[in-house]
Structure 1
């Protein structure tokens, strides 16, 4: 698995627990059903994936196809999967 794939999968997988956290905060009333606050929470965790990728996964810009890929690669997958799982978890909790 090359560095691009590792980064993409890492961000995709991180989106799932972030979606669960968004669901918990929405259900508990902490965010009072505010989608914008949940989006900022997801964006905060996305920004945290950058230093984790550099320091823990040891992915450097030199290993990627473009230097900016470290910041942007997987952004669409992250936010789409976060939104999908947030809606899924919220719906499952509401019907139980």
Structure 2
């Protein structure tokens, strides 16, 4: 059985170490530079705010925060909404199970 989200890195320092250990692998799968940039933003939110930042319900708030409430800018830079959702959820497998 792999690591579950609730098991991973309870405090900010532990989360930072967990991310740092996986970042090169996760970033290399990010595709376009903008994809990697968004993934790194989400990971930074995870480190500072906690595992709840990785819930799918946080995708839209994360996009709004990163792109100053301009979802259209996020779509222009990252691609269609389904691709953005796959970016948001896809790297988490590497973070938890990698």
TM-score range, shorter chain: 0.3 to 0.5
Q: TM-score, normalising length from structure 1?
A: 0.40
Q: Which has the higher contact order (CA 8 A, sep 6+)?
A: 1
The higher radius of gyration belongs to: 1
Q: TM-score, normalising length from structure 2?
A: 0.39
